[in-house]
Amino acid sequence: MVDYVNKKPKVPENFKLLDGEEVCRVHSFKFTPPKLRQSGLSEIHRLTSSFDESGVGKNGPVIAALPSELQPSAYDGQGLYNVVFGRDSLRVAIDLNKHYPKLTRATLIRLAELQGTKYNTSREEEPGRIPHEIRNATDPIAIKLTKERGWGWPYYGSVDATPEFVRTLSAYCKLSNKNVEFLSHEYTDKDGKKQTIANALIRAVDWILMHIKNSPDGLVEFKSVLKFGIENQVWKDSWDSYHHSDGTIANHDYGIAPIEVQAVSHDALLNAADLYDTAIINKHDEAKRLRQQAKLLSRKIIDIFWTEDKGGYFVIGTDRDSGGNLRQLKIRTSNMGHILNSSVLDSDDKEINRKKMAILKQLKSKEMLSISGVRTLASDEIRFREGAYHNGSVWIWDTYHIAKGVRRHEKNPEFKDFANDLESRILNVINKTGIFPEYVRGGNEIAINTCTIDVFDHKVNRYNRVEQPPQEVQAWTVAAILASRWH
């Protein structure tokens, strides 16, 4: 039975309802773009609690988001993410690594200090795992989440933060020969034991290898061990973001393997191998095995996640049927573009080149490309809604990440032109909205959500918040805009 907040919720014009859904709440908010706009530099200072450029990195990692200082909206969800998130902080650090190496260093140290050391179900902690959401247990939001979902703190429910940690560490060490010495840096882990960054690297790599070993198909998968843990432990963490082409939600009774996690894990293994070969770690045999494992994973990415449907693309991931048999989640999403920003496709092999061109064509299609950037979900997919959190909206960092990948292959002028076009689109978003939004609508005009819309899905018997206003100043949006100007 639906518990209506309004007797007759007024649904926005052209809002799409899926079969079995019923609107149960609509709440509108007013948003007026500020007449003045903060610069990306001033916002990165706020997000790092810095007074100037020299202070960036002195106070640890960035927090994920903040309300606008100039003209905050009436949306009561602002400020939900004003803490450190592992994935977000690493994404910001790697994008701004060349300009703010102190921030990268501080981020790596803080996350190493909180790296998992044991198995703890309430926190979803595992040895070597990098935390997802870092809150003090007395934080009001932490108290609420603990009461409602049983979470312990810090909460580790992420499958991508750990390989991203390895990649970010590698990027920092590659800045200069002197930075490799960072592997010897000592810190105290969460159990009060002295460790080095090299130890943190090895623990993270062992976590990746453990997940590959535990998968029947040799993939890096997620499956929450908590009844009310995050179901999709990736950046597209909405419960309905992983689904099949008919709209059916992915089967969470078994592990789910996201395509971009396989790619980042592949790169992490290669990056780690290079660090294992350094004089500080000196694990040459292990380095060889990591390269062999990466090669095997790259083959699986090509063989398991590619489909020739609709001209060819990488599917968002895999789940399993009730018998445990692997199935593709065959929907077109922005995730396919992330593979361009991986060494998986760094080859001039004829077949690899064909796949790269197919992905480029998909990303440029009217279904995938909006005025604001690349849609999270193609507009012809059943669950597409232009204001949905991960099923149709455009995330600025996501489009920038894709642009970085496209630029990796820019010796082909078609790729270079498209990378420039994507960066131009996200800059237009910032200029039009006057803020650094978490995401914008994936429609035919640059716009942000001004409603919270909740529906009840009778097919799966659960509520779904299908639309909500974005955070006004999102850290990885700020980083993407700064990096696009500095590259």
Structure tokens at 407: 């630029």
Percent of the chain with pLDDT over 70: 98
Beta strands in 372-481 (DSSP E): 373-374, 451-457, 462-467, 473-474
Structural element, H or E, at residue 166: helix 161-173
Distance CA 425, CA 113 (A): 38
Residue 219 has pLDDT above 90, yes or no: yes
Distance CA 212, CA 33 (A): 47
Structural element, H or E, at residue 313: strand 313-314
Q: What is the mean pLDDT of residues 197-205?
A: 98
Distance CA 391, CA 111 (A): 30
* 252 Cβ contact partners less than 8 Å away, ≥ 6 residues apart: 223, 224, 231, 319
- Mean pLDDT over each residue of the chain, to the nearest integer: 95
pLDDT the model gives residue 1: 27
- pTM over 0.85? The answer is yes
Summarised one tens digit per residue, pLDDT across range 160-175 is 999 999 999 999 999 9
Q: What is the DSSP letter of 53?
A: G
| pLDDT category of residue 8 using cuts at 50, 70 and 90 | low
Distance CA 454, CA 465 (A): 4
Place of tokens 């955070």: 471
Every domain of the chain and the residues it spans: 21-486
Q: What is the mean pLDDT of residues 135-143?
A: 96
Structure tokens at 17: 């309802």
Summarised one tens digit per residue, pLDDT across range 315-364 is 999 999 999 999 999 999 999 999 999 999 999 899 999 999 999 999 99
Burial 328-340 (b: 16+ CB within 10 A, else e): bbbbbbbbbbbbb
Structure tokens at 119: 């198995």
> Which CATH architecture does the domain made up of 21-486 adopt?
Alpha/alpha barrel (1.50)
> Torsion angle, CA of 201/205/207/211, rounded to 10 degrees?
160
Residue 96 has pLDDT above 50, yes or no: yes
Residue 4 has pLDDT above 50, yes or no: no
Distance CA 386, CA 12 (A): 12
Q: What is the DSSP letter of 129?
A: P
By the 8 A CB rule, do 394 and 405 touch? no
Residue 6 has pLDDT above 50, yes or no: no
Nearest to 453 by CA among 444, 436, 441, 438: 441
Structure tokens at 218: 């040799």
Percent of the chain with pLDDT over 90: 91
Summarised one tens digit per residue, pLDDT across range 34-86 is 888 889 999 999 999 999 999 999 999 999 999 998 876 778 889 899 999 99
- Long-range interactions of 44-51: CB distance < 8 A, separation 24+: 44/96, 44/100, 44/475, 44/478, 44/479, 44/482, 46/473, 47/92, 47/473, 47/475, 47/478, 48/103
